[in-house]
Amino acid sequence: MNRTNIFFGESHSDWLPVRGGESGDFVFRRGDGHAFAKIAPASRRGELAGERDRLIWLKGRGVACPEVINWQEEQEGACLVITAIPGVPAADLSGADLLKAWPSMGQQLGAVHSLSVDQCPFERRLSRMFGRAVDVVSRNAVNPDFLPDEDKSTPQLDLLARVERELPVRLDQERTDMVVCHGDPCMPNFMVDPKTLQCTGLIDLGRLGTADRYADLALMIANAEENWAAPDEAERAFAVLFNVLGIEAPDRERLAFYLRCSCRLFFLLIGTFRNLFSLRTPFPASFGKFHCQTGLLQSSRD
């Protein structure tokens, strides 16, 4: 039986498909535009439940994000129904408009980072991400087709070693500057009012958890790279973001680690978790240079 019939019953015609992916997950928008439904197969029920739990935890904590309307489990899978956040994805904005929306986007991310780490039951620490990469390599589960060209001839253990060399320093930084991270602050996950160009909220919070704040910052900066029309826009956005967040001296070395080194964890993991980033868009040509952090944060779900 069609999953939409299982979860929506006679009202299935009220729900319009938005997207589907290799994972088997499907997203639907209710006809009135005020709600979305995510349907996952049985094999991914736990991941969808993780997003549900995070949204429940976030309610009333000052973060503009969806609220859970309904949760349904069946033998075939699970369905999460959530409220819609108004606006358009920041990914749809021109560089000029994105720059205008950028300060409010930084404020929304800052609201997540200001949440209590001690009260957050979810974590996405670097050691855990690295541990999963080690497991994948030890099981020889890496798909070399998904490695960057420059790394295809490099032994996988060497790729891990490049990241491991920096781990002690980065883990110390993580311990002293840990925040609640969105986990996937890429442009499609910031909703923006197209008239006022103010960020209205955040979506896709299934990867939220405690981590180094630079994990989020690197992904946000990297993923916006495709939107900028000129290098000066990217430079202005960089300065604005750190100013909004009250960071007077950005740690460029730490940012570089999450932009460059961590991408190796992603490409090692993508052979197993190939369905994560590609559900939204194909890999852009500049992914290896600018989008490395996407993989680190998306290659594991709680």
41: which strand partners?
A: 77
Check if 193 is active-site.
no
Of 151, 184, 216, 302, the catalytic one is: 184
Indicate the pTM of the whole model: 0.82
Burial 181-219 (b: 16+ CB within 10 A, else e): bbbbbbbbbbbbeeeebebbbbbbbbbbbbbbbbbbbbb
CATH class, domain 88-298, is alpha beta
**Minimum mean pLDDT among 100-104, 121-125, 185-189, 283-287: which range?**
283-287
| Listed residue (281, 69, 93) closest to 190, CA to CA | 93
Give the residue range(s) of CATH 3.90.1200.10 domains in the chain: 88-298
| Listed residue (245, 200, 158, 74) closest to 255, CA to CA | 245
User: DSSP string spanning 155-206?
Assistant: -HHHHHHHHHTTHHHHHHHHHHSEEEE-S---GGGEEE-TTT--EEEE---T
Query: What residues are designated binding site?
Result: 189, 204
Crossing angle between the packed helical segments 262-269 and 156-164, to the nearest 10 degrees: 150
CA pair distance 79, 23, nearest whole angstrom: 15
Per-residue pLDDT at 166: 86
Section 194-209 average pLDDT: 97
Instruction: Name the residue type at position 224.
Output: A
Q: Are 238 and 267 in contact (CB under 8 A)?
A: no
Q: What percent of the chain has pLDDT over 70?
A: 78
**Minimum mean pLDDT among 84-93, 222-231, 256-265, 277-286: which range?**
277-286
Query: What residues are designated binding site for Mg(2+)?
Result: 189, 204
Architecture field, domain 3-83: 2-Layer Sandwich (3.30)
**Minimum mean pLDDT among 4-8, 183-187, 194-198, 201-205: which range?**
4-8
**Model confidence pLDDT, tens digit, residues 262-287:** 455 655 554 443 333 333 333 333 33
Section 15-21 average pLDDT: 77
CA pair distance 19, 35, nearest whole angstrom: 15
